[in-house]
Structure 1
Amino acid sequence: MSEIEIIATIFGIICVVLTIRQHIACWPAGLVQVFLYIFVFYQAKLYADMVLHVIYVLLSIYGWYHWSMNKSGTQSSGVSTEGKFMYMYVFVCLISSFILGFLLTRYTDASFPYPDSFIMSGSLIAQWLMSRKKLESWIFWIITDVVAVYVYWYKELYWTTGLYIVFLFLAIMGLVEWRKDYYQTKSVLIK
């Protein structure tokens, strides 16, 4: 446990709370978190998570840009993806987890290569969906957070474990809130 991990944890919580509220300030708060976690995961030899956070930097900048198209600073309700795309996202998540896990097992001293790879794959898909304002992003976050809690607890990253437990509950809240907002907006558009 380090000061960097504690600060990253605090910014992570701020980021997700702002995301649930659909406020654009979630993106700069998230950038602070992801920069700090690059160092935390490098020290823990969770290389897929480290690379994930490097990619998060780019996705966060993209998400910040995409959400900034709305001049009010907040976004209206999430947009649902088509079912066929969800099957594709699940397939890509599983295949990429297996391939990356195999590569990490073969060529590195990575700890928990397959679960770490799943965390990376699931998180990338969730982050992409989140940046595009897709309701289903929360489902990917929930599943990924469950795996992350186990891995981080085992690696004795207790602040990070706590953060991902909070993330899990916040993701459930996010799904409920965005779903409610989605159906309210959809019913208004139908009238």
Structure 2
Amino acid sequence: MHDLVSLFIEQIKETTWVQWLAVALGVAEVLLARVNNIWLYPTGILATALSILLLMEVQLYAESALNVYYVVMSVYGWIHWIKKRDAPSVKVTYSNKNEWMISMAISLGGWAVLYILLRSFTPSNVPLWDAFVSATAWAGMWLLARRKVENWVFLNISNLFAVPLLFYKKLPMFAVLTVFLFVVACFGYFDWRRKAEKVVRYT
């Protein structure tokens, strides 16, 4: 335990100002999202852009590609918010059998494809791990866009495996941010379950 604490402290000392800024912006994005503030989008785009640079430096290529997707979706979300912020939101519901199958296909199929690409075309030394973290996050994001309760399950599986990977790659503050996101996602899951139960009750 003492060795782990010492390693963490040593990694914190080596953390660059860019990583601190990216993490600070990431926390700000989550807090802005919680209060439904449109500034979450530009904040998130900047945080994600910095994350891409840092992840590329440590050869986490699949996570870098995932963050490119986050940037694209943030831009889309920003535009969509401005155009339709007064429109009624899509109701939160549970995934049906077909959506579960698609989610599993994205996770397992994406894991296999990303692993092959990373193994064949990059110098990554963690292709299997990197591919799994990203593939499960892709599935979670797909379900999130469809307002499905289970999105939090897939996102937290991704978060759970991402934490040790980020420590291994000497990105301790990113790991701490991911722990924070894991906790937020746990609350999100139970909150969305309550909303989905209301939809079931009144239909």
Shorter-normalised TM range:
0.7 to 0.9
SS at match of 1:147: helix
Letter in structure 1 aligned against 2:44: G
State how 1:1-191 maps to structure 2 within 5 Å: 1-20=15-34, 24-67=38-81, 70-72=84-86, 75=89, 77-187=91-201, 189-190=202-203
- Cα distance change of structure 1 residues 86 and 66 upon mapping to structure 2, 3 Å threshold: farther
The 1-side partners of 2:87 and 2:31 are apart by 15
Displacement of 1:23 after TM fit? 5.3
Aligned length: 189
Give per-residue Cα distances to partners, 1:88-129, cap 9 Å, x unaligned: 211221121122112211221113111111122122222232
- Cα distance change of structure 1 residues 82 and 110 upon mapping to structure 2, 3 Å threshold: same
- Cα distance change of structure 1 residues 140 and 69 upon mapping to structure 2, 3 Å threshold: farther
Provide structure 2 residue ranges, at least 5 long, that are not aligned to the other structure: 1-14
Larger radius of gyration, structure 1 or 2? 2
Letter in structure 2 aligned against 1:134: K
- Superposition TM-score, scaled by structure 1 size: 0.85
- Superposition TM-score, scaled by structure 2 size: 0.80
Give per-residue Cα distances to partners, 1:147-170, cap 9 Å, x unaligned: 100100111110001011111111
Letter in structure 1 aligned against 2:23: T
The 2-side partners of 1:122 and 1:67 are apart by 26
Deviates more, 1:152-161 or 1:132-141: 132-141
Output the aligned Cα RMSD: 2.5
The 1-side partners of 2:54 and 2:126 are apart by 16
Percent of paired sites with the same residue: 25
Displacement of 1:171 after TM fit? 0.7
Provide structure 1 residue ranges, at least 5 long, that are not aligned to the other structure: none
Deviates more, 1:29-38 or 1:75-84: 75-84
